[in-house]
Structures are given as C-alpha cells and as structure tokens.
Structure 1
Amino acid sequence: MKIDLTGRTALITGSSGGIGFAAAAALASSGASVVVNGRSSEKVDAAVERLRSLSPSSSAQGFVGDLSKADVAEKLLEAHPECDVLINNLGMYAWKDFFETSDAEWEDFVSVNVTSGIRLSRLYMPGMMRKGWGRVIFVSSESAINIPADMIHYGITKTAQLALSRGLAKRAAGTGVTVNSVLPGPTLSDGVVSMLEGATGLKGEGILGAADDFVKANRPTSIIGRTATVEEVANMILYVASPLSSATTGAALRVEGGIVDTAF
C-alpha cells in the first residue's frame, strides 16, 4: 500500500513535538508540504529543520502562535491560505479533581481542545469543499469514551471533538472532504516522558518501563499492555489523511491498544 500526498498541503497544529510532529514527519515522508505549529519559535524552528533533514524533497514550514486565540488563527490563514489536510492536534491535559477544577481552567481546556478545532475547521473547510477534496482529522483520545475520573474536564473536551467531527462529516457530505477523529491511548509523547521523569526521576529505558507500568496499573483493560509510540498513532493519522481513506468519514478510529472494552 503506497500513500502519495505529493501536491497536498497539510497543517498540523501543536506539532513541534509528540504525536503532532510524528504526524508531520509521516505526511512529509509521503510527499506532503507540511506546516508545523507551536508557541515557541525555538521549538518550531527545530521541528522544521528536523523535518527537512528527514524528508529533504518535501517542503516544511513553521507557524509560531497559540492557535486557541482567534486573532492568531486569522494570521495563520493569511500566512497559509490553502490547506488540503487539517490535523487538529493542539491539546492540553492535566490530572485534577473535578471539585478543584475552576471555571477558568474549564474555559482554558475548552478553548484549546475544542474551540481551536472549531475555528480552524470553519476557516479551512470551505476551501477544501470548493476544490472537491480535503481531510480534517481531530486527534481525540480514548478518554473521550473512557472518561477518567481524575481528568473529567479533559475527557469531556475529547468527547466534544467526536461530536464535532461527526457533525462536520455530515456537513461536508458529497463534497470529497472527509472528517474523522483518531483516538490514541497512553502514548509515549514528549509530554508524557517529561511527566514521568518528574514523577519518577527515571531516564532512558527506565521511562519505558515506568510508562508500561502506568498502563498496566491505570488502564488494566489494555490488550497490548504498554504505551503506544507516537509513530504508531501517526500511522493511523497518515492513512486517514490519504486518498486511500476516501470511504472513511464521521468515524472515531481507535489507536488505544484495546483499552476501551467494547468491540465497536
């Protein structure tokens, strides 16, 4: 199976590291021109240079800014008016008890995890629909279905992404534009590594063991019994972003190692 995205432009939000960067690298390796995004100029520049070294024949550009802000999203549209593949990967998470989560924190989570994707889809989907081809992908989470008691605020925003992607898929019916969600489980991203390093003091191979122990203790229904790699999640994103996925839309595609204990 060969995926060819030559001539397509992909925008991946929150992609200076983690799942977002892995998705950008996968799309670039398949010929797409990619735009990576983050809030740090240093990290975005480093991501662009890394992409160019991994896929010298592909175009990689960066956009620095917090895309949970409306004015920043408008600046993005001015800088990059054309987009064939929009990957709404921007997100935040934190463990916090429901009764200790303030209104301001709820608003932050909704703004970053949900509203940013609403806004960017509204800005870019009409152009895709006019051209008769496009892919919109929301990077959600197994927590959208398996709401964690210690991250209710996070889980609700991820459930909202599923409703949004399903509704947008219906709105784009018959246009050649598909809209889907990808649901990772615990994934060994940069953020998870930093969190585990802070909690355990471990480095290197020790972190891999700690991550797998976390899955076994906190997600005991996992069939694979370990964290996923960012590349494993990116493989699903790449497929959904490709022409090969033309009959897949309005779907919630799980890459969570079997944590959600249902067959469908």
Structure 2
Amino acid sequence: MNIDLSGKTVFVSGSTKGIGRAIAAQLARQGAAVMINGRTQASVDTAVNELRDADENAEVFGVAADCSTAAGVEAVLKAAPEVDILVNNVGFFDPKPFFDLDDDDWTGAFDVNVMSGVRLSRAYAPGMKEKGWGRIVFISSESALNIPTEMVQYGMTKTAQLAVARGLAQTLRGTGVTVNSVLPGPTKSEGVIDMMEGQRKDGESVDDAGVRFVRENRPTSIIDRMAEVQEVANMVGYVCSPAASATTGAGLRVDGGVVGYPV
C-alpha cells in the first residue's frame, strides 16, 4: 500500500523519543510536514536534527512545550495554528503500588496522559471539521483494558483516553474527521529499556530481560516479546492515511495479543 500524506500537516505530542518519535518519522516518510514536540528546546532540536539527518527529504519542525498544561498547549497552537493530523502521544508511566499513590500521582498522570489530548483535540478538531478531513489518534495502551496492578493510575488514564476518543469520534460523525485509539502492548521505548536495564539478571541482555518481563507480567502475550516502536508507528501510519477513511471510533491493538479476544 502506497500511503501519501503530501500536503498534510501533523503534530505529534511527546515525540522526541520512543513511540512518538517513531510515529513522527513514519508520518514524515509518508510525505507529511511534521511538528516534533518535547518539554525542552534541547531535546526538540536534537530530535529534529537527527530526523533530518536520517531522511534528507523529511519536512520536520519542532516546538518545545509541556502539553500537560494549558499554557503549553497554547504554545503549541501558536507554533502550529492548524493541523490535518493530530497524534496525542505524550504520556508517562510510574510503577507504584496503589496504596503509595497520593493525590498528586493521580492528577499528574491525568494531566499528562488525558488532558493533553483533550486540550489539543478541542483546539484542532474544529479546523479539521471545517476542511472536511482530519485524523486524530490517541496513543492509549493495552493497560486500558488489562489494568496493571503495579500502576493503576496509568491504566486509569489509558481507559479514559478510550472514552474521550470514542466520544469525540461520535461527536464528529459524518464530518470526514476520524478519531481512533491505538493500544500498544509492552514496547521497547527508551523508558521501558531503562526499566529493563534496572531489572536485568547477570548475563542477561536487555532483549532477554524484555522477554522475561512479558512472560512474567503479560503471560497472555502471543508474540512472546516486546514490540518495537516501529511496529506501533506502522499502525499509526495507516490509521492517519486516506486509506483508513472507514476506521473511526476504534481501539486498534498493537499489543501482541496480550488482551484476550473479544474485547
């Protein structure tokens, strides 16, 4: 399938590394002009330069802003007043037992993982509707359906994303704007690799530690390994394309089969 996003503008929140960066690179390869985002100017500049070095044809720009805040979203809107494709990717996870979670843990997770996408979608969706075409994607997680006991607050935010995405898709019925969620399973992003480094046994590689983590913590996985960030980006690249015009209000799983069927 030849996917051409030439002439389309994209904003990917939290895209200086990990899944977000892989998504930004994928959409740039498909011809879109992509706005990279991170909290610091240094991280944004590094990501933009590296993506341009990797692909001389990539049309990549950047904006430093904390999308978990209203002020940060305003900074994004100033840099990119309109987009055709919005990928609500920014997020974080923090393994912590339920009874150790305080109010700040809950509200902090909600602000980053949920309110960032709410504010950005609220700002960008009307312009997409007016043009009669647009794509909004929430990067949720299999943890939305398979709540991890080691980070209940994270699972809560990912379930909330599914609700927001579905409700927004229904709100934009018949407009040509699609809204979907993509649900990765355990994925080898930098944050997860760092976590695996801390859990490696003597003589164990990071990849082997990842397989062990999946087997011990996500034993229903069918692929029996962590996903690569590119595998998630491949799904996003499709759902952002004109080819996915009949896919909306959906939760698209790239979870390696962790969540049982049907859901």
Structure 2 CA distance, aligned partners of 1:153 and 1:63? 28
Deviation at 1:46, TM superposition (A): 1.2
**TM-fit CA distance, 1:128:** 0.5
Asked if the contact 2:38–2:65 (Cα under 8 Å) also holds between the matched residues in 1, the reply is yes
Question: Given residue 70 of structure 2, which amino acid in structure 1 is its aligned partner?
Answer: A
Paired residues for 1:200-215 under 5 Å: 200=200, 206-215=205-214
- Tell me which amino acid in the other structure corresponds to 1:10: V
In 1, the alpha carbon distance for the partners of 2:54 and 2:237 equals 16
Matched, 1:168 2:168: yes
Distance 1:210 1:149 in 2: 20
Q: Residue in 2 aligned with 1:219? A: 218
The match for 1:124 is 124
Which residue number corresponds to residue 261 of structure 1?
A: 260
Counterparts of 2:3 and 2:36, CA distance in 1:
20
Unpaired stretches in structure 1, ≥5 consecutive residues: none
Structure 1 residue 202: deviation in Å? 7.5
Counterpart of 1:94 in structure 2 is 94
Question: What TM-score do you get using the length of structure 2 for normalisation?
Answer: 0.97
- Where in structure 2 are the equivalents of 1:130-145 lying within 5 Å? 130-145=130-145
| C-alpha RMSD over aligned residues | 1.3
Structure 1 residue 201: deviation in Å? Answer: 7.5
**Could you tell me the percent identity over the aligned residues?**
54
| Cα distance in 2 between the residues matched to 1:100 and 1:173 | 42
Aligned residue identity for 2:219 = P
Query: Mapping of 1:30-179 within 5 angstroms?
Result: 30-179=30-179
Give the total of aligned pairs.
Answer: 263
Q: Distance in 2 between matches of 1:259 and 1:23?
A: 22
Aligned: 1:9 with 2:9: yes
CA contact (8 A) 2:169 2:249 kept: yes
Contact 1:98/1:150 (CA < 8 Å) preserved in 2?
Answer: yes
CA distance in 1, matches of 2:129, 2:178: 10
Find runs of 4+ consecutive structure 1 residues off by over 2 angstroms: 198-203
Between stretches 117-126 and 57-66, larger displacement belongs to 57-66
| SS of equivalent residue, structure 1 residue 57 | coil
2:129 and 2:51 map into 1 onto residues whose CA distance is 29
Cα contact 1:12–1:36 (8 A) shared by 2:
yes
- Can you give the 5+ residue segments of structure 2 that lack an aligned partner in the other structure? none
Instruction: Check if 1:235 corresponds to 2:234.
Output: yes
Deviation at 1:55, TM superposition (A): 2.6
